[in-house]
Amino acid sequence: MKTLKGPGIFLAQYSQDVAPFNTLPDIAKWAASLGFVGVQIPSNDHRLFDLEQAAASKTYCDDITGMLAEHGLAVTELSTHLQGQLVASHPAYDRLFDGFAPVALRGHTEERQAWAVQQLKLAAKASKHLGLTSHATFSGALAWHLFYPWPQRPAGLVEEAFAELAKRWRPILDAFDDAGVDVCYELHPGEDLHDGATFERFLEAVGNHPRANILYDPSHMVLQQMDYLEFIDFYHERIRAFHVKDAEFRPNGRAGVYGGYQSWIDRPGRFRSLGDGQIDFRAIFSKMAQYGYPGWAVLEWECCIKDAQQGAKEGAIFIRDHIIKVTERAFDDFAATGNDRAFNRDILGLQ
């Protein structure tokens, strides 16, 4: 067993063009003041991080880790959620996802996709320079619009989509393997990898690549009505990152899992600040400790009701209070009778 690290905080939902959220030193000081000891950095946000420079210069990365250490902080992971989305994007979503790419690439699908792949490879190098072992991202999606089997899907269609997804990701996974870093896909509606079944399908398509792993976020499982605790039993060996995010699902006579195109405030499934939803985090943290999860517990704040800064302040305390310091001795060690093979055989009636 291992005691997981935390609390960390994902900075993507907090960075903005006002102090103290517009530079890494200032947002680091703010995070530390709330009790966080780790930050997950969105690599696309130039206010906080220069991915190209981090991939090219270990000195730049050392300066970042040194600055964060002065505040009692460490980098938990880098994130390429937006770039990962563009590794595989169905044309139906081109206009919607164009905003994730540089202005010069918008409307140029092939160039945008090549840029996204290069961004992931830069993130592998940057992660190595930062001394990280895990990386957070999305898989992108070629088949998401087919998630409901109507009209009937042609034979082989899903298999073809996952073969193409694997083809695009395999060189990226190899780059992360060279860097010694795990790629942790956040299983998320809108991505081809959104539950255990789709992750298994992808894992098979990439030949059980050792760097293809999972960012565990139970909130997305609540909204899909999955068993988020049994998920850990099934996939704990592949869980290498952890977003601590709460959610609730309250279906009614008007809407359920699909949400009726309603805004977040009106949907039966909603993300909530930590402690305000339905997720059993005590059970989750127990299972993480039981299986020796080696990474960080990182707050991802997304709530349609509570203010972000209140969510951060409460979230740091919530995570800290849920982290289990694993025991280094058995509770019945006081009654131990030693370790002697001859004695054991005698108890068993063996000569």
What is the C-alpha separation between 253 and 285, in angstroms, rounded?
Answer: 34
In this structure, the strands spanning 38-42 and 74-80 are: parallel
Model confidence, pTM:
0.96
- Of 216, 132, 115, give the one whose Cα is nearest residue 172: 115
Asked if omega into 151 is within 30° of 0 (cis), the reply is yes
- For 182-203, how does the pLDDT look when each residue is reduced to its tens digit (9 = 90+)? 999 999 999 999 999 999 999 9
Tokens of 229: 């605790």
Q: Could you tell me if 184 and 131 are in contact, meaning their C-beta atoms sit under 8 angstroms apart?
A: no
pLDDT of residue 335: 72
- For 105-127, how does the pLDDT look when each residue is reduced to its tens digit (9 = 90+)? 999 999 999 999 999 999 999 99
CATH number of the domain to which 160 belongs = 3.20.20.150
What percent of the chain shows pLDDT beyond 70?
100
* Ordered alpha helix ranges (H), the chain: 24-33, 51-56, 58-70, 81-87, 94-97, 109-129, 157-179, 196-205, 218-223, 228-235, 281-290, 308-322, 341-347
What is the mean pLDDT of the segment spanning 294-306?
Answer: 97
Rg (Cα) of the chain, in Å, rounded? 22
The CA distances from residue 69 to 10, 15, 64, 89, in Å, are 17, 20, 8, 38
Asked if omega into 20 is within 30° of 0 (cis), the reply is yes
- Separate counts of helices (H) and strands (E) for the chain: 13, 10
**If you average pLDDT over every residue of the chain, what do you get?**
96
| Residue range of the domain that includes 290 | 5-347
Q: Hey, which residues does 21 pair with through a beta bridge?
A: none
What is the C-alpha separation between 191 and 34, in angstroms, rounded?
Answer: 33
- For 194-233, how does the pLDDT look when each residue is reduced to its tens digit (9 = 90+)? 999 999 999 999 999 999 999 999 999 999 999 999 999 9
pLDDT of residue 130: 98
- Of 302, 251, 333, 299, give the one whose Cα is nearest residue 35: 299
Amino acid identity, residue 317? Answer: I
pLDDT of residue 22: 98
What is the C-alpha separation between 59 and 130, in angstroms, rounded?
Answer: 10
Q: Specify the number of domains making up the chain.
A: 1
Burial class (CB in 10 A: 0-12, 13-18, 19+), 348: exposed
**pLDDT-derived band of residue 135, with 50, 70 and 90 as boundaries?**
very high
**pLDDT-derived band of residue 264, with 50, 70 and 90 as boundaries?**
very high
Q: Hey, which residues does 224 pair with through a beta bridge?
A: none
What is the mean pLDDT of the segment spanning 304-313?
Answer: 97
What is the C-alpha separation between 175 and 327, in angstroms, rounded?
Answer: 37
